[in-house]
């Protein structure tokens, strides 16, 4: 009997956004219903095949690489229910945050916090512990209040704080290793505006007043520009003021031309002639001051047209100044030519076992390199600095850790492993990446 009668596979190739992870000839499925998700899992376990769901492919690591069965959830992307009494939304796991944000805004609702972009799917974002910035706010996974997951035995189970609590606890940041997430329920807030000030500051001044910036703004972040003493700062604060967006021209000039095309041209020139990078970097901080006010989802998420590779580490917040200064010294002493800023953000702790902010207030330091350039030496130097702060790498961004080095950095590591052994003893949802970072 063909148990996947309704959903049929096609041989597919796939690559991630950055183009550094690819797979050829996987068996690709495009399910539209939960029943189809269950059928795919049943087919996989019956034939001893491994499954990987892919979201929008915005992870830089091989976390979403499907070695045998690839489940593309782009046709499983509907809003199931909005509950205006509880301020929650239930969505199918393949919905992109950009589509979700628009639906929520139409209903006077919003997600509590977001990262820099909204191309990700909800399941992809939570599975890697995707986060934004703001000391009073956590990553996206901690906004989840319920999930429905198709497990390796093909059952679809609900989980929340009340039902299957241990599974819920772990599956919010599950690295795609516990099952196929079918639906996600998020706790929302009423739609809100953010008042924004973006301006360059001396990086020494930012660091000297770091606690003040981080504690007195709802969402503070900065980008240190290597080879300069400058940082581009962003202070976003929640406000009841009416939106006063940038004019269309200013928005295009600042966000599309300067942050993407002009920056891309500078990166391309720097890749061809690295020695020019320090001079080119001096032009970046002159991008000036912007002040505006707009709907939260429009402010949080930006366009990202220029392709790059990225590594990001979560470290205890109190180590941020020292760690960044060590990165600055290393860059000065190393002779690296770096054409991308170093991004620094902050979040509150949560209690999710494999969240990068698990049980500690966190600073995030992210380094980037333009696509096509060798990232390994620079990222390894940064990683060795982050190791001395028990740094936790973003699960979707490049790093060189394995299960042995990671286990001591997560107080609830064993809780996750116990749940994994219980729900996926035959490792239907594993791939080489999860074997490396979680063990076989």
The site for ligand FAD (CB under 6 A) is made up of 17, 52-59, 63-64, 73, 93, 115-117, 120-121, 123-125, 127-128, 130-131, 175-176, 180-181, 304, 394, 396
Residue 213 token pair? 């910036």
Token digits of residue 406: 């990671």
Nearer to ligand FAD, 124 or 200 (CB): 124
> Considering beta carbons, is residue 131 or 298 the nearer one to ligand FAD?
131
Could you give the CA distance from residue 197 to residue 292 in angstroms, rounded to a whole number? 7
Query: Hey, what's the torsion of the CAs at 326, 330, 332, 333, to 10 degrees?
Result: 130
124 vs 226 by CB, closer to ligand FAD: 124
Name the residue nearer to ligand FAD (CB basis): 335 or 386. 386
Q: Nearest approach, Cβ of 394 to ligand FAD (angstroms)?
A: 6
**Closer of 30 and 125 to ligand FAD (Cβ):** 125
Residue 106, helix vs strand vs coil: helix
Q: Which of 61, 21, 57 has the alpha carbon at shortest distance from 400?
A: 61
Nearest CA-CA partner of 120 in 177, 69, 54: 54
> Measured between alpha carbons, how far is 132 from 142 in angstroms, rounded to an integer?
12
Measure the CA–CA gap between 355 and 422, rounded to whole angstroms. Answer: 20
Residue 249 tokens read as 């021209």
**How far apart are CB 96 and ligand FAD at their closest, in Å?**
7
**CA dihedral over 83, 88, 90, 95, signed as positive or negative:** positive
Q: Which one-letter DSSP state was computed for residue 288?
A: -
User: Quick one: 204 or 261, whose CB is closer to ligand FAD?
Assistant: 261
Nearer to ligand FAD, 126 or 293 (CB): 126
Closest CB to ligand FAD among residues 172, 276: 172
Shortest distance, position 227 Cβ to ligand FAD, whole Å: 23
Q: Least distance to ligand FAD from the beta carbon of 93, Å?
A: 4
Whole-angstrom CA distances from 28 to 53, 124, 337 are 10, 17, 41
Smallest gap from Cβ 355 to ligand FAD, in A, equals: 11
Q: How far is the CB of 345 from ligand FAD (least distance, A)?
A: 8
Q: C-beta of 365: minimal distance to ligand FAD in Å?
A: 12
Q: What is the DSSP letter of 274?
A: G
Indicate the DSSP class of residue 84: T
CB closer to ligand FAD, 138 vs 217: 138
Shortest Cβ distance from residue 312 to ligand FAD (Å)?
7
Running DSSP on this structure, what letter comes out for residue 291? Answer: E
Tokens, residue 231 = 């940082």
C-alpha closest to that of 71 among 49, 92, 54: 54
- Helices 320-334/376-387 angle, 10° precision: 150
Min separation Cβ 176 and ligand FAD, Å: 3
């Amino acid at each position: 009997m063909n148990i996947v009668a309704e959903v049929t596979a096609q041989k597919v190739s796939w690559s991630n956004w950055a183009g550094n992870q690819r797979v050829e000839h996987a068996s690709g499925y495009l399910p539209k219903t939960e029943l189809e998700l269950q059928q795919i899992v049943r087919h996989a376990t019956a034939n001893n095949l491994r499954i990987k769901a892919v979201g929008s492919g915005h992870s830089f690591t091989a976390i979403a690489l499907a070695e045998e069965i690839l489940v593309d959830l782009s046709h499983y992307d509907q809003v199931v229910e909005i509950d205006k009494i509880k301020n929650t939304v239930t969505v199918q796991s393949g919905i992109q945050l950009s589509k979700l944000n628009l639906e929520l805004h139409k209903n006077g609702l919003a997600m509590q916090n977001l990262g820099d972009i909204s191309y990700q799917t909800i399941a992809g974002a939570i599975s890697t512990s995707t986060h934004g910035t703001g000391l009073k706010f956590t990553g996206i996974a901690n906004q989840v209040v319920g999930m429905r997951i198709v497990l390796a035995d093909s059952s679809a189970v609900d989980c929340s704080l009340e039902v299957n609590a241990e599974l819920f606890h772990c599956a919010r940041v599950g690295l795609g290793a516990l099952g196929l997430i079918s639906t996600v329920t998020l706790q929302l807030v009423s739609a809100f505006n953010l008042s924004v000030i973006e301006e360059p500051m001396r990086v020494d001044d930012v660091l000297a007043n770091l606690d003040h910036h981080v504690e007195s703004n709802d969402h503070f972040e900065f980008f240190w520009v290597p080879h300069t003493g400058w940082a581009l700062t962003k202070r976003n604060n929640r406000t009841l003021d009416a939106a006063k967006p940038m004019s269309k021209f200013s928005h295009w000039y600042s966000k599309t031309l300067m942050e993407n095309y002009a920056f891309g041209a500078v990166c391309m020139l720097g890749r061809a002639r690295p020695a020019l990078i320090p001079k080119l970097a001096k032009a970046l901080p002159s991008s000036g001051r912007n002040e505006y006010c707009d709907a939260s989802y429009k402010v949080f998420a930006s366009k990202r047209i220029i392709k790059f590779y990225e590594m990001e580490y979560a470290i205890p917040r109190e180590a941020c100044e020292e760690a960044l200064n060590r990165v600055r010294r290393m860059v000065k002493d190393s002779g690296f030519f770096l054409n991308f800023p170093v991004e620094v953000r902050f979040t509150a702790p949560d209690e999710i076992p494999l969240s990068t902010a698990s049980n500690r207030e966190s600073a995030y330091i992210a380094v980037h390199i333009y696509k096509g350039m060798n990232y390994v030496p620079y990222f390894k130097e940064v990683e060795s600095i982050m190791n001395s702060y028990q740094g936790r790498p973003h699960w979707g961004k490049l790093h060189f850790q394995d299960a042995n080095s990671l286990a001591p950095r997560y107080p609830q590591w064993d809780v996750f492993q116990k749940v994994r052994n219980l729900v996926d003893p035959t490792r239907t949802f594993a791939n080489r990446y999860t074997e490396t970072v979680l063990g076989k």
